[in-house]
Structure 1
Amino acid sequence: MTSNHDSDDAIWQQKLTPEQFNICRLKATEAPFTGKYYDCKKTGIYHCVCCGQALFSSETKYDSGSGWPSFWDVIAVDSIAEHTDFSYGMRRVEVLCKQCNAHLGHVFPDGPKPTGLRYCINSAALDLRETP
C-alpha cells in the first residue's frame, strides 16, 4: 500500500529535476555561489518552481554576499509560510511556499532596510519570469 505522501513524491520526482526535488521536497540546500540566480541581475518575478506561485520581485533582490539569491521582502505576505527549523544543531526560520509547501530556504534578521530581513533562497526552488 502506498501512502499519499509517497505518491506525491513520485509526482514531484517526475515534474522536477533531481536537484529541485532534493531542495524543494527533501529540504536540501544547494552549495553557495552555484545557483543560477545568486548573481542574476535580470528583472522580473521569481516564482515557485513547483507550483508557479509568485514569491519575490527582482526589485527586492540584493547581493548579500552569502552565495544565494537574497531578497529583503516577499511579493505578498500570504505567498510564503515560515516554520522554526532546528536542523544541523541551529535554530533558523525556514521559508516555504504557502501554496505547495516547497522548501525555499531560510529568512534571517540581518538584511537591509526597510525590512531588515534577508530571505536566503535556493536558486533551484525558483523560476524567474523576466519582464522587459
Structure 2
Amino acid sequence: MPYEVEKSDEQWREELSPQEYAVLREAGTERPFVGEYTDTKTTGVYSCRACDAELFRSDTKFESHCGWPSFYDPADSAAVELIEDRSMGAVRTEVRCAKCGSHLGHVFEGEGYGTPTDQRYCINSISLRLAPQE
C-alpha cells in the first residue's frame, strides 16, 4: 500500500536511531516496562516518531500494567492501519501508522479493561513522541 510518507530504507536508517528503526521499520518490540511513556500521565498528543502524524491523545491512555503504553482508541480511526499478524504462532492485529506505515504495536480486544471500547492499543514508547499540552 502506498503511504503519504514514502522513504527508502537508507533514508529511514539515516533519520532513525538503530532502536527506533528496529521497532518502527522492522516491526520489533521494545522490552516491557522500559519505555519512556509506559507510566507517563502527562496531558498531550502522541505522534508517530517517524513522521509526526497524530496517533493518540493522553485522554485515551490508561494503566493496563502490561509494560507498554496502552490506549483505548486512536485520535482518529484513519490515523492507524490495522493488519492481521500471524507471526509468533498466534493471530494478532498489528497497528501501523497510516501515514508512513511504521509499526506501532498491536491492538487487543475483550480483555475486560473498563474502557469505552474494550480495546487495548499496546504501543511501543519508542514508536511515539509526546507533545505535552501547554
TM over 0.5: yes
Helix, strand or coil for the counterpart of 1:101? coil
| Counterpart for residue 55 of structure 2 | 55
- Cα RMSD of the aligned pairs, angstroms, is 0.9
The alpha-carbon deviation at position 25 of structure 1 amounts to: 0.1
| Counterpart for residue 4 of structure 1 | none
Q: Give the residue type in structure 1 aligned to 2:133.
A: T
Helix, strand or coil for the counterpart of 1:36? coil
| Counterpart for residue 90 of structure 2 | 90
Instruction: Count residues in correspondence.
Output: 126
The alpha-carbon deviation at position 74 of structure 1 amounts to: 0.4
Give 4+ residue runs of structure 1 displaced > 2 Å after superposition.
110-113
Unaligned ranges ≥5, structure 2: 1-6
Q: Does 1:127 align with 2:129?
A: yes
Tell me the TM-score normalised to structure 2 length. 0.91
| Counterpart for residue 46 of structure 1 | 46
| Counterpart for residue 35 of structure 2 | 35
Helix, strand or coil for the counterpart of 1:40? coil
Q: Is the 8 A contact 1:46 1:57 kept in 2?
A: yes
The alpha-carbon deviation at position 113 of structure 1 amounts to: 2.4
Helix, strand or coil for the counterpart of 1:66? coil
| Percent of matched pairs sharing the same residue | 43
| Counterpart for residue 114 of structure 2 | 112
Tell me the TM-score normalised to structure 1 length. 0.93
Deviates more, 1:26-35 or 1:109-118: 109-118
Unaligned ranges ≥5, structure 1: 1-6
Q: Is the 8 A contact 1:112 1:118 kept in 2?
A: no
